């Protein structure tokens, strides 16, 4: 029992409680699929009458039913409100997913992104009718360039992995312009999965760089791999073990000497924003997740936004489109204008339009609210919070790199402390769910066994961190005391018990089928 809480041992709530007729438990409501509650004739929208015209659909009128049920507005509102209550969210509590940077999403940003002047403009309007939008993009670009100490930024990539692709294509284009066909990209073992996937996506072979026992890139091993076939390295800083790469400037120098370029995965930029400029470390390209460092909401898996900053060397290859000053006006440089002039080396276009405008508004709102001083404090507080967690937990959990010094914005633990308990990282995570917490990142990075990566972010209070830490310590105590069942069977109190992911993959059911049709197909 928590000191200020109620009895929480498994079973105590339900032992003498009746089974309900509905299967619901007060505010915990089951909710069927929309297809099970809606009908083909119902609609929740009120449209004006359709004028009588002779159709001109080329004889291709749809004559079969689509199979899309509809609901009246109150039912739709209830359906999705009920679904929403089955989700954990940063609005409900700490969301300590390492590497994912779940920080508070200020609501001012939401309000401003919905101003009609931003939300209700078409991407192909003539430039003179969208000067304010171009001004916003240009101002955000200026902030990003100054915060990174780099001369160019490409705003169009749609998310972090898309930004990686943008950076790597610029590297590829730069080599091509020199007449070189380098084939290999070096990626540390601890990298996000998107890094090797991106390198392969643009046609490179991936060679892994090992980590040192201290959890950092092995500089000697990296240098040994450099050569005329190496196009560049993809490095994450701070890295996914939560550590700053102190030799990054030397790494950059060595890579440049070997004729390669340095791509930095900027997913962890929130740890150093305002404290260090990546440009000062010799980086050639880095994506910035606006949905991490600059607080745009993750939305249950997107949309993100991943602008990429470039060094002088890669700037000419940056993709289209971009905003440029033309006299008193701002203009968008697209294919037509790019064929001539200073941007004739651009490697091309990555998206249909100009990037994630909605995210740009939110990010600029966040930057202006925090200012240069506040952003610096964001990094400091994020690092302070992570170190507090590291030091308060390192005695009970195993922190493999704790001796390497302070961590940056996230604290990494392995499952060594669970050895012989029969409890895994996954079990611990599910037990955290019962305690009302979203678990940390599990089993990543791959360089430690059973990894648990905790990123609190700067928006957690000390009191909140203390409650979280005490919870983990209590669970650690229970695990070591042999209370295996509460872990193995967890979660007990979530809307659903543990889900069978193996069965889902063996015989995938990816869409809903009417029950009679589903039966007939068996």
Partner 1 sequence: MLSAIGAKDIDALFRDVPQSARLDGPIGDLPLHAPEMSVERDLARMAARNLTASDTPFFLGCGAYKHHVPASVDHLIQRGEFLTSYTPYQPEIAQGTLQYLFEFQTQVARLTGMDVANASMYDGSTACVEAIFMARRVTRRKKALISGGVHPHYVHVAQTLTHFTDDEVEARRPVLTEGAPGDDLDGLIAAVDGDTSCVVVQNPNLFGHVADLSPLAAKCREHGALLVVVVTEMVSLGAIQSPGEMGADIVVGEGQSIGGGLNFGGPYLGLFACNQKHVRQMPGRLCGETVDAEGKRGFVLTLSTREQHIRREKATSNICTNSGLMALAFTIHMSLLGEAGLRKLAALNHARACQVADRLAKVEGVTLLNDAFFNEFTIRLTREARPLIRRMADDGILGGVALGRLYEDDGSIENCVTLAVTETATDEDVNALVAAYEGAAS
| Binding residues for partner 1 restricted to 53-82, rule: CB under 8 A | 53-71, 73, 76-77, 79-81
Question: Which residue's CB is nearer to partner 1, number 419 or number 503?
Answer: 503
Tell me if 355 sits within 8 A of 155, measured CB to CB: yes
Cβ closer to partner 1: 123 or 482? 123
Q: Is 143 in the site for partner 1 (CB under 8 A)?
A: yes
Using the contact rule CB under 8 A, the part of the chain among 9-17, 83-91, 415-423, 474-482 near partner 1 is 83-91
Site pattern 252..291 for partner 1 (x: CB under 8 A): --------------------x-xxxx--xx---------x
Binder of partner 1 out of 14, 20, 342, 369 (CB under 8 A): 369
- Quick check: 518 binds partner 1 (CB under 8 A)? no
Task: Report in angstroms the alpha-carbon separations of 91 from 41, 101, 297, 363, 496.
Answer: 37, 14, 11, 18, 21
**One residue of 94, 152, 160, 427 binding partner 1 per CB under 8 A:** 160
d(CA 391, CA 370): 28
CA-based nearest residue to 457, from 386, 405, 390: 386
3-state SS track over 19-34: CCCCCCECCECCCCCH
Cβ proximity to partner 1: between 246 and 477 the closer is 246
In the region spanning residues 304 to 343, those forming contacts with partner 1, defined by CB under 8 A, are 304-305, 319-320, 334-336, 339
- The least distance separating partner 1 from the CB of residue 236, rounded to whole angstroms, comes to 14
Q: Closer CB to partner 1, residue 228 or residue 299? A: 299
Please select the residue that binds partner 1; options are 98, 141, 150, 164, rule is CB under 8 A.
Answer: 164
Interface map 379-398 toward partner 1 (x if CB under 8 A): -x--xxx-xx-xxx------
8 A C-beta contact, residue 336 and residue 141: no
471 near partner 1 (CB under 8 A): no
Residue 149 backbone class (left: φ over 0; alpha: ψ -120 to 50; beta: rest) = left
Measured CA distances, 1 to 4, 429, 433, 435, 479 (Å): 8, 19, 16, 11, 16
Is 302 among the residues that bind partner 1 (CB under 8 A)? yes
16 secondary structure, DSSP code: T
CA distance 230 to 445: 24
- Does the protein bind partner 1 through residue 129 (CB under 8 A)? yes
- Asked if omega into 321 is within 30° of 0 (cis), the reply is yes
Can you give the C-alpha Rg of the chain in angstroms? 26
- Structure letter (DSSP) for residue 404: G
User: Binding residue for partner 1 (CB under 8 A) from 162, 182, 467, 486?
Assistant: 162
Among 5, 11, 18, 126, which residue interacts with partner 1 (rule: CB under 8 A)?
126
């Amino acid at each position: 029992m928590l000191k200020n809480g109620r009895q929480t041992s498994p079973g105590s709530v339900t032992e003498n409680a009746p089974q309900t007729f509905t299967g619901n438990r007060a505010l915990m409501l089951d909710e069927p699929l929309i297809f099970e509650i809606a009908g083909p004739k119902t609609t929740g929208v009120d449209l004006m009458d359709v004028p009588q015209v002779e159709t001109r659909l080329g004889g291709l009128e749809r004559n079969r039913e689509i199979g899309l049920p509809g609901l009246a507005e109150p039912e739709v509102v209830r359906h999705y409100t009920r679904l929403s209550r089955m989700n954990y969210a940063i609005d409900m509590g700490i969301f300590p997913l390492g590497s994912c940077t779940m920080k508070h999403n200020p609501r001012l940003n939401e309000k401003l992104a919905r101003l009609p002047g931003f939300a209700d403009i078409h991407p192909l309007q003539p430039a003179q009718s969208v000067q304010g939008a171009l001004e916003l993009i240009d101002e955000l670009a200026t902030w990003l360039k100054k915060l990174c100490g780099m001369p160019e930024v490409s705003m169009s990539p749609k998310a972090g992995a898309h930004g990686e692709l943008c950076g790597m294509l610029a590297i590829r284009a730069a080599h091509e312009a020199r007449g070189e066909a380098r084939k290999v990209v070096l990626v540390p073992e601890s990298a996000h999965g998107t890094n090797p996937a991106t390198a392969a996506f643009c046609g490179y072979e991936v060679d892994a760089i090992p980590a040192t026992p201290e959890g950092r890139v092995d500089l000697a091993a990296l240098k040994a791999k450099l050569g005329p076939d190496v196009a560049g390295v993809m490095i994450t800083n701070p890295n996914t073990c939560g550590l700053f790469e102190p030799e990054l400037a030397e790494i950059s120098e060595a890579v440049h000497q070997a004729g390669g370029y340095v791509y930095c995965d900027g997913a962890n930029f929130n740890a150093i924003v305002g404290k260090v400029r990546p440009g000062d470390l010799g980086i050639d390209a880095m994506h910035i997740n606006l949905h991490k460092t600059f607080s745009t909401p993750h939305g249950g898996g997107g949309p993100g936004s991943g602008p990429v900053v470039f060094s002088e060397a890669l700037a000419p290859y940056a993709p289209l489109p971009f905003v440029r000053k033309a006299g008193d006006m701002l203009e968008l440089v697209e294919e037509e204008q790019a064929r001539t002039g200073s941007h004739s080396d651009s490697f091309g276009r990555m998206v249909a339009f100009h990037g994630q405008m909605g995210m740009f508004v939110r990010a600029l709102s966040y930057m202006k609210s925090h200012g240069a001083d506040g952003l610096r404090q964001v990094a400091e507080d994020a690092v302070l919070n992570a170190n507090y967690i590291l030091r308060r937990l390192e005695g009970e959990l195993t922190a493999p790199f704790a001796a390497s010094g302070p961590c940056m914005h996230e604290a990494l633990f392995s499952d060594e402390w669970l050895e012989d308990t029969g409890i895994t990282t996954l079990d611990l995570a599910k037990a955290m769910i019962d305690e009302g917490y979203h678990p940390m990142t599990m089993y990543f990075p791959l360089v430690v066994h059973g990894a648990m990566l905790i990123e609190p972010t700067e928006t957690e209070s000390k009191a909140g961190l203390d409650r979280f830490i005490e919870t983990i310590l209590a669970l650690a105590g229970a695990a070591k005391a042999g209370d295996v069942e509460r872990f193995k069977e967890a979660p007990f109190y979530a809307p659903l018990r543990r889900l069978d992911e193996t069965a889902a993959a063996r015989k995938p059911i990816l869409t809903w089928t009417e029950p009679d049709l589903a039966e007939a197909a068996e």
